[in-house]
Amino acid sequence: MLETVLLVVSVLLIAIVLLQSSKASDSSQIITGGNESLFQNVKERGIELFISRVTLLLGIVFFVISFILFVK
């Protein structure tokens, strides 16, 4: 039962991480010198904030279930 929940959480975690906006273009600007927005404090809003919170929640659930299965 718990293994099935872990499998579902794993698939959801993979899907939600793939939905997140790519930060790769921001990090590539370090090499090219376009760093005017590198250290700006940009707040997530709307759907980005929701996806970020769901990712955090699924990560915590994944860790807790994995730890429970390991101890068992």
- For the whole prediction, is pTM greater than 0.85? no
Domain locations along the chain: 1-16+45-72
pLDDT one-digit tens code per residue, 9-28:
999 999 999 988 765 555 55
- Per-residue pLDDT band for 35 (boundaries 50, 70, 90) equals low
Of 21 and 7, the structure prediction assigns the larger pLDDT to 7
Residue with tokens 């939600």: 16
The pLDDT value recorded for residue 48 is: 87
The structure tokens listed for 62 are 């994944």
